[in-house]
Structure 1
């Protein structure tokens, strides 16, 4: 028969695991043990995990995304336990193998399309962690809305509104999100959420740069595009970092942006204004 915890023994365990014993002073016996077990589960930071899933597959080495290792490890261990990820890839690095394993897990839940893009969503991440970890700093694209006759998600809409406020100029879309195959020159970046093209008609060179800077400030990977780079007119291309509806191609652009590149197929150096990179959520917390 299992013996109940003594007050001294339970307090000692609290100290060993770094959990304040006073938090459990009013509880005892099996209910307290169950509460302790729940409280002691690791927390997966969804923001950091999703960010790593965008950056890590684009790295030339296995440098870990700062602040993401413990969260990614918890996710990888859960995938391994479901026989979706080989033990050699359980390393805190959300590379292509982990992306593929997570996408397979999403498909096992019946998800298809963008819902099985390998980027953790709140529901799938929570289900994967059942009885293993809890999820913190949850993020999501929100509902689909209309802007300038195009479809975007609510998170992207809020980001665009804040960028407009910063520069004092209305930003008009030339292309929205969730537009699979709508523009072959976009190479699939607009197939999912979080990606828009913005008109620069009537803007001076200085205003164009200011617009790109403001978009980057609020959490977009944004660049000014010109006709010499591809079969398109002058415009600003922007992909919302950590939008969990990003297409695979847009995920790659975000990763390249973090690594100082231009988001184009040639993976050339970033040609936009360099500022500290933040997600939308990090920007909001800094206001």
Structure 2
């Protein structure tokens, strides 16, 4: 039951009058500011977007890359707003049309060569999303370094070092990255970053398979290559998944790997050791 000394909007306690805060503010000249709620911008995962940009163009259908739809949609909407992508292609599928649109955007920024390969880079992705989305889980190849007399990027070097740790022995390169036209049998896969050939001299068949497995575990699309497949000696070909310096041909190899193929022009079935698909960043997080 309400106590008799309590009144609506006013209370008397020990002879003192207590004025509600709203009334005090109005009588004292103080003003209150209305709260303004600003809608948070969508978040684009660069990891998911880059992965979709490698896989989706190689699909025979419009299946979306798991976990990438919202990020890809935000990127496509931003491309559409710049007049680079028709509305019909704003669908969360980073296919060949979206790749071409993104490459056009990169060129509009003055980028050429690998910097305009259609794979989102941190700078271009951030600029595209200004006032539209924020970018999370950024990735990049890092600087160029020397390994076994060849050039690779820092991300690839770190991946190779971890594969060596898993194996317990050193891997030696037969070919590195950033070697445009250097090997006509490579079909352009070594033109950009993230791609290496590993020597298998003296390795047994079991050891070659073990190396390919370790490379896949840390985030490479890796296959043992033999002379019956092309004009080359035995070696292991490895493409670093989601290296943003990948040539177009190497991007296609990553897509084929995720879709169960061998990374060759014949798009035959994957003949390598089966391990869960994983990028270098996912491996580092223990995913």
On whether the aligned pair clears a TM of 0.5, the verdict is yes
- Provide the residue aligned with 1:161 in structure 2: 161
Post-superposition shift, 1:204? 1.1
Higher helix share: 1
- Residues 72-115 of structure 1: per-residue CA shift (max 9 Å, x gap): 00000000000000100000000000000000000000000000
How large is the Cα RMSD of the aligned pairs?
1.2
TM-score of the superposed pair, with normalisation by structure 2: 0.88
- Provide the residue aligned with 1:90 in structure 2: 90
For 1:164 and 1:86, the matched residues in 2 are separated by 46
- Residues 250-283 of structure 1: per-residue CA shift (max 9 Å, x gap): 0000000000000000000000001101000000
Post-superposition shift, 1:196? 0.2
Q: How does 1:134-149 map to 2 (within 5 A)?
A: 134-149=134-149
The number of aligned residues is 256
- Provide the residue aligned with 2:65 in structure 1: 65
- Residues 122-168 of structure 1: per-residue CA shift (max 9 Å, x gap): 00000000000000000000000000000000000000000001011
CA pair 82-168 structure 1, distance change in 2 beyond 3 A? same
- 1:218 aligned onto 2:222: no
Post-superposition shift, 1:205? 1.0
- Provide the residue aligned with 1:24 in structure 2: none
- 1:246 aligned onto 2:246: yes
Post-superposition shift, 1:169? 1.5
State the secondary structure of the residue aligned to 1:206.
Answer: helix
- 1:286 aligned onto 2:286: yes
Post-superposition shift, 1:231? 0.2
State the secondary structure of the residue aligned to 1:67.
Answer: coil
- 1:128 aligned onto 2:132: no
Q: How does 1:1-287 map to 2 (within 5 A)?
A: 33=36, 36-37=38-39, 40-286=40-286
For 2:118 and 2:198, the matched residues in 1 are separated by 27
For 1:246 and 1:29, the matched residues in 2 are separated by 52
State the secondary structure of the residue aligned to 1:73.
Answer: helix
Post-superposition shift, 1:202? 1.0
- Residues 23-78 of structure 1: per-residue CA shift (max 9 Å, x gap): xxxxx958x748x34xx100000000000000000000000000000000000000
**Could you list the runs of 5+ residues in structure 2 that have no partner in the other structure?**
1-31
CA pair 244-33 structure 1, distance change in 2 beyond 3 A? farther
For 2:188 and 2:196, the matched residues in 1 are separated by 12
Of structures 1 and 2, the larger Rg is shown by 2
For 2:66 and 2:152, the matched residues in 1 are separated by 30
- Residues 233-266 of structure 1: per-residue CA shift (max 9 Å, x gap): 0000000000000000000000000000000000
CA pair 76-232 structure 1, distance change in 2 beyond 3 A? same
